[in-house]
Structure 1
Amino acid sequence: MQNRNNIFFYYHPRQEGEKTNHLKSLAEQNGLNVVNESKDASIIVSIGGDGTFLQAVRRTGFRQDCIYTGIADGDQIGLYCDFSITRFEEMIDAVTNNKIEVRRFPTIKVSVNGEKAFYCLNEVSLRSSIIKTIVIDVKIDDEHFETFRGDGMVVSTPTGSTGYSKSAHGAVIDPLLSSFQVSEVASLNNNNYRTLGSSFILNQNRRLQLEVIQDGNDYPIISLDNEAWPVQRIRHVDIEMDNTVIKTVRMSNNTFWNRIQRTFL
């Protein structure tokens, strides 16, 4: 079992320098042990923005036995980053004096062509790789729901609903709701083709399957969170939820809806 005071800092190599060394020094001065391997940590801290936080979670394996937290590399904090690099002392004080609350963000599990499953904290998107609409049969719990034609589809978690999904006119979902959202990107709707034409939300116990109709879009682009994944030939993508969550910390006066208000209003 990892020492509960072991802390690992995740950041891009180009950020190595005075700032990161200062953060490590502050952590050690406050009784935390800085480790060089994420597997040895009970606290994983990303330094950057929301994108870096997503990478930190993915690159460290969506660990269930540790807490993640994000530090913005600047004064502008984000949806996943509660603290800024210039105010790191606040995080140290919050962690050591129990001024924080633990949040549990649900994830979605994605399997391509029935192979190894991957987790997403934000979303999975499936898009055309050529200048042509992609055709996808959408199934819910193995029953055909609709045939989509358009630029692509986005399936997001509640926290991911504020990103690509929102840009595709999806709703913002409270992360206390264990559910996932399906949003269309530029769907084709006319006398010949018809889709729901709006986002829809599925309960955590539902299973979603996106079956790509091979009509020239044999090699669509699939992205998991903020990373594109090279898959030679996508036949179907299966999406569901299990009990995997990402535990993060936040200040007690900084709720998800405080962040939404700060970011969008």
Structure 2
Amino acid sequence: MRFAVQSRNDPQSNELMERAINYLTHFGLELDEEKPEIVLSIGGDGTLLQAFHRYTHMLSEVAFVGIHTGHLGFYADWKPAEIEKLVISIAKNEFDVIEYPLLEMTINYQDNTDCFTYLALNESTVKSPEVTLVMDIELNGKLFERFRGDGLCVSTPSGSTAYNKALGGAIIHPSLETIQLTEMASINNRVFRTVGSSLVLPAHHNCVLKPVKVDDFMVTIDHIQLLHKNVKTIQYRVAKDKVRFARFRAFPFWQRVHDSFIDSDLRD
């Protein structure tokens, strides 16, 4: 089996990376940064996001597993002390592969030049660089609302516990093929109105954002921030591609939510 390792590049993560490489090569696995079959992410959820974007061109061929060297994450759930146990399980091929849905974003431009398409594991956001964001939101080709506010966030189910949750969005189980549109500080008064609630869209729906006046926007795809000019439309939908995770043991999603956001020592 071919493997690669993505490190957060701090001393502890780098030391674990060296140990993992030594252990795995000792068991006969091949270190291959170009075409790995499994990728170990050592750091936190941010490190796994970096690994994901490094290998978006081969998602159907690679599975990810995270080792956290900080706080417990939603993607990085193995502890440093468990590195030997994890390596042995990888070497023996003792794991299942689960798939989570992704977000696809396509940006089209006013001059009809080539469009750009991105995949997000957590979310994508859209903001205006200088003024209030004003966007027409179309759902399945029909105008839903004209949004005015700080920005918009579109998240995946697995990313619903990240920025989306901080904005008041719902937490969605990652087995559901959906995307979620959540507002950032919308303007609501006698003149301007928005629905004010997050919208959960199924896989066969799409969401299109159309600029009303300004057509330059700050766009994020997970941790990546880009400035796009002369934007005509931004389309979001559930991607056909999926992210694959190597699952070695049961760790229910709602248990992760509990451990991350509720006191793990809570008693009746």
TM-score, normalised on structure 2? Answer: 0.89
**Deviation (angstroms), 1:121:** 0.9
Give the aligned partner of residue 52 of structure 1: 47
Give the aligned partner of residue 224 of structure 2: 227
**Contact 2:42 2:67 (8 Å CA) reproduced:** yes
SS in 2 for 1:244: strand
CA distance in 1, matches of 2:14, 2:120: 30
Matched, 1:263 2:247: no
CA distance in 2, matches of 1:192, 1:94: 60
SS in 1 for 2:228: coil
Matched, 1:31 2:28: yes
CA distance in 2, matches of 1:179, 1:125: 16
Identify the match of residue 73 of structure 1 among 44, 47, 69: 69
Where has structure 1 moved over 4 Å in runs of 4 or more? 12-17
**After superposition, where does 1:32-181 map in structure 2 within 5 Å?**
32-35=29-32, 37-38=33-34, 40-62=35-57, 63-74=59-70, 76-97=71-92, 99-113=94-108, 115-130=115-130, 132-181=131-180
**Deviation (angstroms), 1:61:** 1.9
Spell out, residue by residue over 1:156-212, the C-alpha distance to the aligned partner (whole angstroms, 9 max, x if none): 010010011111110000111101100000001110000001101001010110112
Give the aligned partner of residue 112 of structure 2: none
Matched, 1:6 2:16: no
SS in 2 for 1:70: strand
Give the aligned partner of residue 246 of structure 1: 243
Give the aligned partner of residue 188 of structure 1: 187
Structure (1 or 2) with the greater strand fraction? 2
**Deviation (angstroms), 1:219:** 2.4
SS in 2 for 1:230: strand
Give the aligned partner of residue 21 of structure 1: 18
Matched, 1:210 2:209: yes
CA distance in 2, matches of 1:206, 1:73: 38
**Deviation (angstroms), 1:19:** 3.2
**Contact 1:107 1:244 (8 Å CA) reproduced:** yes
CA RMSD in angstroms, aligned pairs only: 1.8
**Contact 2:8 2:44 (8 Å CA) reproduced:** no
Change (3 A) 1:18 1:98: closer
Amino acid at match of 2:232: R
Q: Which runs of 5+ in 1 are unaligned?
A: none
**Contact 1:83 1:90 (8 Å CA) reproduced:** no
SS in 2 for 1:249: strand
SS in 1 for 2:61: coil
CA distance in 1, matches of 2:220, 2:226: 6
Greater shift, 55-64 or 205-214, is seen at 55-64
CA distance in 2, matches of 1:31, 1:84: 23
**Deviation (angstroms), 1:118:** 1.0
Amino acid at match of 1:123: E
Identical positions, percent = 29
SS in 1 for 2:150: strand
Amino acid at match of 2:125: S
Amino acid at match of 2:40: V
Give the aligned partner of residue 199 of structure 1: 198
